[in-house]
Amino acid sequence: MKVLVVLSRFPLPTDKGDKLRAWHHILGLAESHQVFLFCLTNEKIQPEELEKVKAVCADVCIVKQSLPGIILRLAFNVFSRLPFQVAYFTSRASLKRLKKYTSQVKPDLLYCQLVRMAAHCKTLQVPRKVIDYQDAFSKGLERRLEHESFFKRLLIKVELNRLRKYETDVFDQFEKRFIISQQDAGLIDHPARKEMIILPNGVDVDFYKPEPSAKTIDLLFTGNMQYEPNVNCVSYLVREVFPLLKEDFPHIQLVAAGKNPSAELTRLHSRNLQLTGWVKDLRKYYQQARLFVAPMQIGIGMQNKILEAMSMGMPVITTSLANNAIGARHGKEIWIADTPAKVAEAISYLLNNTELAIRLGQNARELMLSRYSWAEQNKALNRFLESTEEVTSESRPIN
């Protein structure tokens, strides 16, 4: 089967959640089908990464977007009802190029990732079209409201209302719709949302695996340090949790490993916080840390950082909000803490109970092997795409 994959970004490097998910889905699809990739980019693509993608795909079509063009579209979109993220990625040139490319490829199936690219796929004549919502992005915006300044809240409210409606409007344009968790599916405002196929993220269990190492880091958090939910989480740990640990752990250290630390994080100037910036291979940090702490306060979907840490056999402390998509058991495979006091208590308890922490990490690793490997997720993806039957409640969840 010829599968045309439509992305808003070039999938490598996998430094963002949508790129990671897209790349592994491409790898999974390419095992059984011819994959033709159409994607946009406004960044320079490294030659070695382009070759890596070309080695997997039957063909690759990349449309470059200019910053002036993006700015112009966003300015004019003030008078539109489209979400700004749709306007950001949708140009006349990219629409025209995809239409031409589709006529050349003649795909059997079109796989659109994210609602922001649905406008590109709306009028295309393809036998079957599916969309990967990935997350309920409108809910993610809603959760950010109380954490932003007055001016940002005004802008977010406009985008939230537009995006919530758009997520509903594009639903019926596709034969099947994938989403990362049952929790996110329930947040899509469409009467047929129960028909959505739950396709969780996976983790490369062969790459992220336990390795013996000296534990020189107390606490670890990873991710893009410009991404607001990550910025918020690190700030939460420093401002609200660390003061509660001051008496028993005055010198405790949190390493926040990830690219582009925001101005808000660099201004913290905490002696308990180390910002690494870009890290080529995060495994060395996972190996050296005693605990992984990700008490997410905002955000949606499934946290790849948590899956990676669990696959590395690390004990993980997080919130119910983040664990709802994973479904790990508190005290068995993960530790749930929903308030600053509970997070501080969990850190203290697990640092002082090494045996329990080790067992928690071992159970976490087993959970990743049994339910969250990319190999298993891609088997399910191919199974659903190859099936022409209607999705039933019995066939939807795979986790």
Domains of the chain: 2-202+374-386 (3.40.50.2000), 217-371 (3.40.50.2000)
For 39, 40, 42, 65, 279, the CA distances from 45, given in Å and listed in that order, are: 12, 11, 9, 13, 18
**3 state DSSP class of 129:** strand
Q: What is the DSSP letter of 330?
A: B
Which residues, at least 6 apart from 296, have a Cβ–Cβ distance to it below 8 Å? Answer: 229, 233, 303, 318, 319, 321, 322
Each of the 399 residues of the chain gets a pLDDT tens digit; together they read 999 999 999 999 998 889 999 999 999 999 999 999 999 999 999 999 999 999 999 999 999 999 999 999 999 999 999 999 999 999 999 999 999 999 999 999 999 999 999 999 999 999 999 999 999 999 888 888 877 788 889 999 999 999 999 999 999 999 999 999 998 999 999 999 999 999 999 999 999 999 989 999 999 999 999 999 999 999 999 999 999 999 999 999 999 999 999 999 999 989 999 999 989 899 999 999 999 999 999 877 889 999 999 999 999 999 999 999 999 999 999 999 999 999 999 999 999 999 999 999 999 999 999 999 999 999 999 999 988 644 433 334 334
Per-residue pLDDT, 151: 86
Can you tell me the distance from the alpha carbon of 257 to that of 240, in angstroms, rounded to the nearest whole number?
Answer: 20
Could you tell me the two tokens for 92?
């006349």
Q: What is the DSSP letter of 46?
A: P
At position 186, the amino acid (one-letter code) is G
pTM given for the model: 0.87
Going by their DSSP bridges, the two strands 128-134 and 34-41 should be labelled as unpaired
Could you tell me the two tokens for 280?
């080529």
Per-residue pLDDT, 388: 64
Per-residue pLDDT, 98: 98
Whether the link from the prior residue into 83 is cis, omega within 30° of 0, is no
User: Would you give the end-to-end CA distance of the chain in angstroms?
Assistant: 27
Per-residue pLDDT, 147: 75
Can you tell me the distance from the alpha carbon of 179 to that of 199, in angstroms, rounded to the nearest whole number?
Answer: 6
209 conformational bin, left if phi > 0, alpha if psi -120 to 50, beta if neither: beta
At position 256, the amino acid (one-letter code) is A
Interior CA angle at 301 toward 129 and 179, to 5°? 20
State the virtual CA torsion across 76, 80, 82, 85 in degrees, nearest 10. Answer: 20
Can you tell me the distance from the alpha carbon of 167 to that of 172, in angstroms, rounded to the nearest whole number?
Answer: 10
Can you tell me the distance from the alpha carbon of 258 to that of 18, in angstroms, rounded to the nearest whole number?
Answer: 16
Instruction: Calculate the CA 241 to chain-centre distance.
Output: 25
Could you tell me the two tokens for 253?
């250290």
Can you tell me the distance from the alpha carbon of 311 to that of 314, in angstroms, rounded to the nearest whole number?
Answer: 7
Interior CA angle at 325 toward 41 and 191, to 5°? 85
For 86, 271, 272, 388, the CA distances from 250, given in Å and listed in that order, are: 47, 10, 9, 60
Is 147 exposed, middle or buried, given 0-12, 13-18 or 19+ CB atoms closer than 10 A?
middle
**Helix residue ranges, H only, the chain:** 17-30, 47-56, 67-76, 84-89, 92-105, 118-121, 137-144, 150-169, 182-185, 228-236, 242-245, 263-266, 283-288, 304-311, 320-323, 340-351, 354-371, 374-386
